Amino acid sequence: MKFNHIKKDDQVIVISGNDKGKKGKVLTVDHENGRVIVEGVNIATKHRKPRRQGEQGGIIKQEAALNMSNVMHICKKCGKPTRIGYTVLKDGSKVRVCKKCNENFDD
Ligand SMILES: [Zn+2]
């Protein structure tokens, strides 16, 4: 699987699965397992039992991890779902660029 260069706080769109078409901000990235958690996407409902006396049990909704291959970046410059490339600037620093418009992705 191709590594997707996803970082925390990136804006992404879901490209397959139940939440296809949903957009959100990346909350956590699990590079080891190739998974990401995206704000408001892939919400799983969990039933929680009260652990202590007086604590409220109930249903909590929480984002579940998605496979990185199911999301794509959204470029802030051109607003399109895109792949990310890398380029090296004159000062030697490496930056991410949008493959659609070639703008600096992190700028
Ligand atoms: Zn772009």
Flag whether 3 is in a domain: no
Domain count, the chain: 2
The answer on 84 and 68 residing in a single domain is no
pLDDT surpassing 80 at residue 71: yes
In 3D, which of 35, 13, 36, 8 has the Cα closest to residue 24?
Answer: 13
Domain encompassing residue 66: 11-74
pLDDT surpassing 60 at residue 58: yes
Amino acid in position 10: D
DSSP secondary structure, 41-76, as one string: SSEEEEEE---STT---EEEEEEPPEEGGGEEEE-T
pLDDT surpassing 80 at residue 4: no
- As residues whose CB is below 5 A from the ion ligand 1, the structure lists 75, 77-78, 98, 100-101
pLDDT at 1: 38
pLDDT at 33: 93
CA of 103 to the centre of ligand 1 (A): 6
The answer on 35 and 17 residing in a single domain is yes
Flag whether 5 is in a domain: no
Query: Mean pLDDT over residues 34-49, rounded?
Result: 93
CATH of the domain at 41: 2.30.30.30
